[in-house]
Structure 1
């Protein structure tokens, strides 16, 4: 995980704004603790904080290349899972590489294919490329929107960053919310409407969108869309197809020059990923590190719920025996969880999922002592129907997103004058 931020201005000389750029950069240090760099030019300034995974020494950013009379500078947060294929294709067409990192492959892809490079990318990414001669900034975000990219249009300029807090360092980005921002926080949270940034002037590049900021105008467009289609495969073909896709995804995400591990909660998703990752590591003669979290006195106080009918440790231990990996336990206590709520909200920028966020923050701090990269089963429940409401007949009959079943309750927290301006149910729908 890395952090990117920057600004374009049509009237100021941004070479004089290094202190402001450094302030914006400092807000992203959690995302990139290993290296940092800045780029300053008259009309564009960009900064990067790096978590080094591939080609640690030569993959520093911002990265710059010159080709065809134009100079291009990139800041990039993400991973390309088809780096090898893209590199081979570009080399066959004459590109000469100086590093082994995916940053250079992405930058050379942009030089070669222009905006259409994103159509070639298999990965998760948010990046910006400044074209020095053309004086235009290209922005892009991955298909599903795994990597964040926020922006704000300011008088005679433009500001962007991986997190909202980076934008709020800029004096021309007001720290204000309106009724839409209130609705996002109280009615939609911890989710958000695609493209929204909660604060009044802040927006987010939508998933699968890209485009240019040039001559004071921002033009973004979708480069990919998800389409629903009838499923025509039989069960055997479906199972084989899913196995192929998941196995390929895990193998591609195991490419790393730094230590790698997996989350292991004992559920189907993390158990499957850990098993596949273990196969990859065994083929390479390496040992997989797996990581689990538990809570002090959980065996005494656990109470089953509709959301979590059973406790995790029994299943974790079964997988630990099956895999034979090097397993690590993190045990968290309530006072530490409560204290970490503040840091968790600060890291997320917005109110989130309370103790789920603080647990994840503390857990990841412990994991970082052993590995730099960890695969997890996050979002597998959405893909594979893991949450209870997918099997709850009452919830399935209700129109709307299954998470959003508490709108009436949440509306009670709105001030009457605000509630009068927001049709809460219609907003959520």
Structure 2
């Protein structure tokens, strides 16, 4: 896991912007405190910050080249099946000098080009500079776990792992993208398009690549991956999922540094922890250290479920309680690392969990992210699609039965399910959620089509997984911690896409197949748990305390009144209504964090990081300390 940056001169006739890329790379030092490097090979410049996970020696230094120095790579992520790829490539004549997945990835690209992407099982964002073809190849993993942002200014294509690194060049404007800001204020969503919250800055879409060359415009990205159902012939859904998930965890336990897991008390993280414990014990290892978030409010505290998982697995645990004052002390720091506004104070809670894990000596952390997206676990996406699919297949009785089971198991009123069943047949403009009353120019949200398959893919590729991947990457990399997500193994996801509706939900229990797949590994209280709280903080209560005072100050300011987004009087009235006992926490948070984001990223004449957190990794090494400069590659003579 690392930070990458680079530049490509589309004109090809100017001195390389070495100093800009050096500053961009050093802006990402928190992502890779162990090493730094640069390649200057006009018209391209590549930068790299390394967090050492595999082969901790200097042999893993990047940018890395093929033996003939034609291809150079800067790579962020992990290729989990690098051992299997090594064997394949050795059979084709490749010789390896490290045990680093970067060398394997580069050899795979040299052997198969863009087709190598389909052979990779991992999370990745990388750029390969081809000195002979004078082309820069940029690619991103199937589900966008690892980030890549880019912009073009003065005919220079620049890319980086984080948006803030692009702002090193003051010619890159820090102008808000009003359409995306409005989407966030209305619906609390980010990352649902390739556009970012900044005008003119884009993210390379998940499962896409981009080839940049001299003398031509930057093309539209090319999709190399489209999610498709797996072939489950000859097996049952339960066995197929169990086999894939166990192997996904096994691959993600490969590491030369300490590994831990999160335990939230929910099914997904508990399943990962239980499988990891089983695999480690087979290898003669003790269970990995686990980490959990607590809450003072017993209504949302997950400890009873966490404790049962710990008892059954024997895993050691460290927990913490998110606190209002700690949120306020670190809010700007978390926002700085996010680059863009985040939808809930729960994001701070996960950042705090990451700092706890890193401070405990763990460098790799497995978690349950992606379980709901992989297995259609979100009720707001599952049930509308389920009702539509059942009704259009003529299975009216099944739709009614599941609505009744949902009412008894999940506590959802039967009338609510009936409304969802009717609503899914209505036009998108009627199905859309109502935006806040204080938003001056509401937008129309992106909505899935009607079937269960459409809703499933929407959760994976549009919302919410892209937003959650963004937040998880920034929270963990802020403290040089690598997060790994077994449920985002493409084999697990393609298995879930092959399920029939009854494999997803049965008798009111969502993720039914997963429950059965891990039933022997977990306590019944967790497997048969009706509802999961989610990563919780008590922000609604905090908004009636010190956080609410800060909101009041922000919502009363002349600065906010000058923004094009808010009806100030309506916003202040909503805050008062919340203080009076109503619950408007989600909408109020979005308004508050947007204003805070504008003050941090847009308003200042010069971008300035907030005071460094005590948990931030430090490094004295700069990319300038390890620069490799190359002349243009000689042209090959004709055969």
State if a TM-score over 0.5 links the two structures.
Answer: yes
Q: Which has the higher helix share?
A: 2
Match of 2:439 among 411, 414, 423: 414
Which residue is 2:314 aligned to?
Answer: 324
Q: Distance in 2 between matches of 1:312 and 1:425?
A: 36
Where does residue 21 of structure 1 map in the other structure? Answer: 21
Provide the residue aligned with 1:363 in structure 2. 353
Equivalence for 1:43: 43
Shift of 1:171: 3.0
> Post-superposition shift, 1:136?
0.9
Q: Distance in 2 between matches of 1:362 and 1:73?
A: 36
Equivalent residues of 1:6, 1:46 under 8 A apart: yes
Other-structure match for 1:223: 224
Equivalent residue, structure 1, for 2:34: 34
Superimposed CA distance per residue, residues 231-261 of structure 1 (whole angstroms, 9 cap, x where no aligned partner): 9869x70100010111111001000000001
Structure 1 residues 244 and 222: CA distance shift in structure 2, 3 A: same
Q: Which residue of 2 aligns with 1:4?
A: 4
Cα distance between partner residues in 2 of 1:274 and 1:164: 33
Residue 343 of structure 2 is matched in structure 1 by 353
Distance 2:226 2:160 in 1: 24
Of 367, 371, 386, 2:377 maps to: 386
What value does the CA root-mean-square deviation take over the aligned residues?
Answer: 2.5
C-alpha separation in 1, matches of 2:350 and 2:422: 33
8 Å contact kept, 2:423–2:431 = no
In structure 2, distance between residues paired with 1:329 and 1:191: 29
8 A contact 1:185–1:198 mirrored in 2: no
Please state which structure has a larger fraction of its residues in strand: 1
Preserved CA contact (<8 Å) 1:181 1:200: no
| 1:355-400, Cα deviation, whole Å (9 max, x unpaired) | 1111111110110122100100112122234344345624565449
CA distance in 2, matches of 1:49, 1:239: 41
Quote the residue 1:274 is aligned against: 273
Contact 2:183-2:445 at 8 Å conserved across structures:
no
Correspondence for 1:54: 54
Aligned counterparts of 1:325 and 1:178: Cα–Cα separation in 2? 46
Alpha-carbon distance between aligned partners in 2 of 1:316 and 1:342, rounded to the nearest angstrom: 30
Distance 1:337 1:143 in 2: 33
SS at 2:320's partner residue? Answer: strand
- On the 8 A contact 2:432/2:447 being kept in 1, the answer is no
Secondary structure, aligned partner of 1:85: helix
- Deviation of the 1:94 alpha carbon: 0.7
Are residues 243 and 197 of structure 1, via their aligned partners in 2, closer, same or farther at CA, if it must alter by over 3 Å?
same
Structure 2 CA distance, aligned partners of 1:123 and 1:191?
23
Deviations 1:26-62 (A, max 9, x none): 2222222222222222211111112211001121211
- The 3-state SS of whatever aligns with 2:42 is coil
Question: Which entry has the higher C-alpha Rg, 1 or 2?
Answer: 2
Indicate conservation of the 8 Å contact 2:187/2:445, yes or no: no
User: Could you tell me how far 1:277 is from its partner in structure 2?
Assistant: 0.3
Matched, 1:168 2:188: no
* Structure 2 counterpart of 1:290: 290
List gaps (5 residues or longer) in structure 2. 384-411, 449-639
Q: Distance in 2 between matches of 1:341 and 1:407?
A: 28
d(CA) in 1 for partners of 2:330, 2:431: 28
Question: How far 1:189 sits from its partner (Å)?
Answer: 3.5
* Equivalent of residue 305 in structure 2, options 315, 319, 327: 315
Q: Say whether the 8 Å CA contact 1:63–1:75 is kept in structure 2.
A: yes
Counting only pairs closer than 5 Å after superposition, residues 178-327 of structure 1 correspond to structure 2 as 178-215=177-214, 216-219=216-219, 220-227=221-228, 237-287=236-286, 288-295=288-295, 298=296, 301-303=297-299, 310-327=300-317
- Judged with a 3 Å threshold, the aligned counterparts in structure 2 of structure 1 residues 413 and 48 are, in CA distance, closer, same or farther, namely farther
- Structure 1 pair 165–405 and aligned structure 2 pair: CA distance change class (3 A): farther
Conserved 8 A contact 1:54-1:102: yes
CA distance in 1, matches of 2:434, 2:444: 8
Alignment partner of 1:151: what SS? Answer: strand
Per the TM alignment, residue 406 of structure 1 is displaced from its structure 2 partner at its CA by 7.9
Cα drift, residue 191 of structure 1: 2.7
Task: State the alpha-carbon separation in 1 of the partners of residues 421 and 198 from structure 2.
Answer: 33
1:135–1:237 distance in 2 versus 1, CA, 3 Å:
same
Q: Which runs of 5+ in 1 are unaligned?
A: 304-309
Aligned length: 404
TM-score with structure 2 setting the length: 0.60
Query: Structure 1's 208 and 314: CA in aligned 2 closer, same or farther, altered over 3 A?
Result: same
The residue number in structure 2 matching 1:343 is 333
Asked if the contact 1:189–1:351 (Cα under 8 Å) also holds between the matched residues in 2, the reply is no
Change (3 A) 1:313 1:142: same
CA distance in 2: counterparts of 1:53 and 1:4, whole angstroms: 16
